[in-house]
Every structure is written in structure tokens, then in C-alpha cells.
A and B are shown apart, each in its own frame.
Chain A
């Protein structure tokens, strides 16, 4: 059986070091399998967050060879096992222990966004009518599993620490999901511009590249929201045209 070396970050509250673990692997294994094997055999106290092992719960986010990825969806045959494979926690969030970070900031951010505000019901029984074609766009964003890899890789949060001012790609797609919904009547554009500072996004598409659900975060959510803000605040000719329409 072949073996590989995993260089895993061990420590608490940001202080710690990489520790090398060499262990055997079998065909078809993923990084999370290796971490579990190391945890079982060599490092019983190693902290790692996981749940579904199927790429749907978004719990096992980490940085593998420097790239934000889900550990359960990274197969070993995608990695160069002749070199040690580094596995470390996400860098954008406060470190807790080993591979675990505190992602609660994200839940606090979500509470700030105006909730779904549907128009009055279309039918007497309190239900609505809408076309599938109109909910296709918001439904793409509902695939999000809240793994927060996009938040981790976003340089506005990662390098510039704008957590107090910027909501990050995850919540820009959440806002887009609400704004584009055919039943929603809420207006979140002013908040997007002034409070959530969508203008910090400079369209590097890193969030799109790391999304395990392959949501086109930048093209289908962030840029359309930026364009809606242009409609509202930066397009005087468009405003004039609407006045005369």
C-alpha cells in the first residue's frame, strides 16, 4: 500500500505549527479520509469539523495545498503525493483549534440583510403563482451550502480585513437571490451600496473559482447587483429615460 505525507496545521487560537503525518492510503480516498485516519491513529486530539462527507453540508472547508477546498471533495488522485500535502484552516475567520475556525461572523452578517418580503398572495388560499423561468436565477443561488470557501478566498476579507464593512460573496449571492426573486418586493440596493459595500468587490472571480457548487457567483450575482446599483445611482441618462417612458 502506498503512503503519503500530510502536513496538517496543529495549534489553538492562531498559534501553532505544521505537523507531518505519513500514512498509507488506498485508491478512491479523499483528504477528509486521510485526516480521519490520522486522527484515529496518530492524533486523537486533532480538531476537524465535518458532517456529511458528500459535499453538501459545507462543514469540512479547509485550505489544501494553499487552495480553499472541501476536504471531502478533494480526491487524493488530484494531488501531487510525492510532496507533503498541506492542510490548514481557513484564514479569513478566527482560528479555534487545528483545522477548525469560528465562522459565526457569517451568521451575524446574514441577520443584517432584509428578509424575503413577498407581495400579497395571488390566490385566496394564500398561495402565489410564478413561472419557473423567473425563478431559475434565484434557484442557482439556493444551491449554496454555506461552506464559506468564497468568503475565505475573497481578498477584501482575507487580505484587507473588511469584515465590518463588507458582507462577502456568500451574502452577495444571498442578497441577489432575494432581489431577483419574482415575488420579493424588498429593496436592498441602498444597503448593498452603503452598508454592505458591494463596491469593494473588484471582480477577481476567486469566489467563483472555489465554489464547490459551481455557482457563477461573480457573473450571475455580483455583477448583476452592481448593474442594478448603477441603474439606481450612477446612470443619469437612464433615470431621465425612465422619467419620460
Chain B
């Protein structure tokens, strides 16, 4: 009988006796978020596709990039500090970004992918935290408890993006006025609030507020049905989180490419 002398518990960073590809999940999370963060920064700080053509609007349509909706200002307002480059997206993106940053699913994912806290299940953490670990008990991470307030804002954004999708059904005509129509961009924009709704309405905070806070739900069939429906969405919260996040980026990219003249919007009706 051969024997191997190793400590039962060494706890060093990355130490584990797991033999599966445990590093794959945190790596994919890191790459996925890094890709989206990289693209969204590009989209925010590149508002113009030509001297007078913004990247967030497509000429001849009412398409508006979700990263710039609602379009509060088209140029820097007078109170904007001159040393900060202006982008209309900066005024609004903090709200959906805050919703995702404080989302229970995202928290668990980026604690692993970005902070190695832990790197993966049953895998050793960086030694510097040790007994100093604070979790979400103290500042700054205790601020994650603000999540439900970002949920309220996210619901407002879903309403706004639904309005944008409605507006995308109407196309300006020469001489004034608008006609009903459907372009590929319209269909893409209609998908956006639907996917964001599947993500936001499966949120753990929403599940709590809609009925989870109660011990007795049987008294109201409406409450129970809503809770069951949200619970069903909540089971796939991770999936909708990823799909809706990349879809937002995809909608912006489509509109950006149309605005830049790289591609032409396909008019279906």
C-alpha cells in the first residue's frame, strides 16, 4: 500500500483535490462579464458614428438603443462638469447596472469570478482574507441590501423600453407624419423588454415582495398564483440574467451598425 504525506487541510489559494474542471465556471463568468463590460464602456463613450449621426438612433426609423433610453440629453447639459466626457448613456445606465450588480445571482457569480471569494466550491481562497472575512455583513457589501430599490427602477426601465419597442413600429415619412411598419430592428427591440421582464420579474426581491414575505398565502389565490409564477421564473434566473444582458448589448450593436451605415435595417412590412 503506497502512501502520500499531504496535510488534510492546507487552505492555500486554489488548493483542492477536485478532479473536475472546477476552474471553467469562474473563468467563463469572468470572460462573459469582462466582454459585456468592455462592450458597454465602448458603447457609452462612443455616442457618435459620424459628425452629426448619433450611434443610438437609426435615420428613417424611431429605433433607439436601450443603452441610451430614455434619451434625456443629446448634448452635455450646462451643469455637466467640463472635464468629464459626456454621454447620454451615463445618465441612465447606472440604474440597470445597479440592478444587475446587486442581483443575488450576479453577486454569487462575480464573487467567484472576480474576487475569488471563493474561487469555486471546495477550492482554497486567497489567504489574506482568513478570519478578516466580512461578507455582506458590513460596509461596503452591506449596501447590496439596496437591491429592491434598483428593482423598482428596473421595472420603470422595462416600461420605457416597451414604449421604445412600440415607437419602433412607427416609421417617419417624408413630409411629416409616421406610418406603421415592421423592420428587423423592430422585432429585435420588441424582444428586449420581454427578456428583461423574464429576468427582472424572476428576481429574488420581487419574489419576496409579491408574496414570499408572507407565511400564509393560501388566503389569496392571486397572491399565491403570482408567487408561483415568479418562483417559476426564479428557477431560471441565471439563464435570463445572461440572455437579457447580452441581448441588450446585441440590440445596441444592431442599432449602432445600422446608424453607421455598416448594415441596412431589413424592412419586413
Contact = CB atoms under 8 A, between A and B. Distances in A.
Interface of A: 7, 9-11, 14, 16-21, 42, 63, 65-68, 80, 83, 86, 88-89, 91, 95, 131, 133-134, 153, 155-156, 158-162, 179-182, 184, 197, 199-206, 209-210, 218-219, 223-224, 226-231, 234-235, 237-238
B135 interface: yes
Contacts of B205: 227, 230
B6 interface: yes
A199 B143 CA distance: 11
Contact of A180 (B108, B142, B215, B224): B215
A55 to B, nearest CB: 20
Contact of B135 (A17, A21, A199): A199
Contacts of A9: 8
15 contacts: A9-B8, A11-B8, A20-B2, A88-B8, A134-B216, A153-B122, A155-B117, A159-B124, A180-B215, A182-B215, A197-B137, A204-B121, A227-B208, A227-B213, A238-B148
A199 B137 CA distance: 4
Interface residues of B, number: 54
Q: Is the interface of B mostly helix, strand, loop or mixed?
A: loop
Interface in B97-113: 104, 107-108, 111-112
Given A65-B19, A180-B215, A199-B136, A159 B125 contact: yes
Interface stretch (B38-46, B51-59, B126-134, B240-248): B126-134
B3 A202 contact: no
A147 to B, nearest CB: 15
Given A219-B204, A227-B212, A17 B6 contact: yes
B150 to A, nearest CB: 12
A245 B142 CA distance: 28
A149 B138 CA distance: 27
B22 to A, nearest CB: 8
B4 A160 contact: no
Contacts of B16: 66
B218 A158 contact: no
A162 B133 contact: yes
